Amino acid sequence: MILPFIKRLSITILGVHILFIIYVAFSSFYLKWANPTMSLYMCARANFDINQVSIPKFIPKDAVPNDIQTAIIGVEDPTFQQHNGYAQTDHPLTDATISQKVARNMFLMPHQNNLGKYLETIGAVGMECILDKDRIFELYLNYVEWGDNIYGIGEAADFYYKKDLRYLSRTQKLKLASVLSNPVEIEPSTYNTDKIIEARFNLLNRFMQ
């Protein structure tokens, strides 16, 4: 009785993995050229009430100032250009790669469990087989959550500073990069109320003179 059950369970698990990989592959090919209005993650975070979501205005990576790109990669994923989607890290200021966060935002629903982390890792590795680093980072800049139902760097600049991204000050850019570790609970104006976010800001402020 036990062996047939284990066999059926193994086949089911394998089938779920194959389906998820196919889903990631098709979605990644779509994302090579398309900039979707919303993602599954965004809909779920808004309890599937799309009227609550601030639709991000897509900004090409080349139109994003280089200094804020450098700041974001520096605190979010310093080995972004070297890894293949997943990287073992004991860095105290970050907990996932940029690719994992893109996979979470584009392919999955919100989660706070190991299964979700496992799926976003598979998604990140699969996505990296299809999309290049520039496109992955461009998706990150435009779809990552920057506050409660605030998505994308352009929307974040407008929401927090009432400015076009190009006109942000150096300090404003560093604060925007710093809060990405906990963007729902901490805003750029309150960055120093969280020790990790304050440490991220201080690190950037020290090395990006």
Q: What is the pLDDT of residues 135-153, one digit of tens each?
A: 999 999 999 999 888 899 9
Query: Looking at residue 16, what is its pLDDT?
Result: 84
- Position 88, amino acid: Q
pLDDT of residue 95: 67
Q: What pLDDT sits at residue 153?
A: 95
At residue 155, the pLDDT reads 93
How many domains in the chain? 1
Residue numbers of the domain that contains 77: 2-207
Mean pLDDT of 112-125: 89
Please compute the mean of the pLDDT values over residues 20-24 and round it to a whole number: 93
Percent of the chain with pLDDT over 90: 60
What stretch of H or E contains 154?
A: helix 153-161
- Report pLDDT digits (tens) over 35-59: 998 888 888 888 877 777 777 789 9
> Mean pLDDT across the stretch 113-129?
91
**What is the structure's pLDDT at 23?**
94
| 92 compared with 208, residue with greater pLDDT | 208
- Per-residue buried b or exposed e for 103-128, using 16+ beta carbons within 10 Å of the residue's own CB: bbbbbbeeeeeeeeeebbbbbbbbbb
CATH code where residue 45 lies: 1.10.3810.10
Predicted pLDDT at 146: 92
Q: Output the pTM of the full model.
A: 0.90
Please tell me the predicted confidence (pLDDT) of residue 56: 78
Phi and psi based region of residue 116 (left: phi greater than 0; alpha: psi -120 to 50; beta: remaining): alpha
Q: Provide the mean pLDDT of the chain.
A: 88
